[in-house]
């Protein structure tokens, strides 16, 4: 029978979505480690590992697969999406505590009307299109 040795909690970063190829951000995957009394555990090595389709794992990037907790028991690494769409799982292990997992979704940019999609990160609306046509017509008549 195992005794309660502490806890590992996911603080932030679970459920992220990256849109490729335009999303070049690195997102934090942050955890906190506490002892059996709920106190922060500084100086503990936390191991992050990507899981998923082999091609997804090869194309994505974990900045630091091993991180040592700070004085408040926090540890984080950065995740950057690769070139393959789908679900990537990042598992986190520390000591003999139960493993935790982050889920990161990588999507492709295929909606050209989406303001956050495409290489220029803009959205063309009907109103802006009409203003542009009006200016072109005015210029043509003035020539």
pLDDT on residue 18: 78
Q: CA-based Rg of the chain, rounded to a whole angstrom?
A: 23
Structure tokens, 3: 């005794």
What is residue 120's predicted lDDT score, i.e. its pLDDT? 47
Rounded to an integer, the average pLDDT of 56-71 is 79
Kindly report the pTM of this predicted structure: 0.69
Question: Distance between CA atoms of 44 and 113, rounded to whole angstroms?
Answer: 46
What span, in angstroms and rounded, lies between the C-alpha atoms of 45 and 143?
Answer: 71
Check whether 47 has a pLDDT greater than 90: yes
Q: Which of 51-60, 62-71, 104-113 has the lowest mean pLDDT?
A: 51-60
State residue 36's pLDDT score: 93
Query: What is the arithmetic mean of pLDDT over 85-89?
Result: 81
Handedness of CA 22, 25, 26, 32 (dihedral sign): negative
* 78 and 104 Cβ atoms separated by less than 8 Å: no
């Amino acid at each position: 029978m195992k005794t309660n040795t502490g806890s590992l909690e996911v603080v932030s970063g679970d459920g992220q979505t990256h849109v490729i190829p335009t999303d070049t951000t690195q997102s934090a995957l942050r955890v906190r480690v506490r002892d059996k009394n709920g106190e922060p555990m500084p100086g503990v090595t936390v191991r992050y590992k990507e899981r998923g389709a082999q091609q997804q794992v090869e194309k994505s990037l974990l900045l630091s697969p091993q991180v040592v907790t700070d004085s408040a028991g926090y540890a984080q690494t950065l995740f950057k999406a690769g070139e393959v769409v789908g679900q990537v799982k990042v598992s986190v292990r520390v000591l003999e505590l139960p493993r935790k997992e982050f889920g990161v979704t990588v999507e492709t940019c295929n909606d050209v009307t989406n303001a956050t999609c495409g290489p220029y990160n803009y959205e063309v609306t009907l109103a802006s299109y009409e203003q542009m046509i009006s200016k072109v017509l005015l210029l043509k008549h003035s020539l």
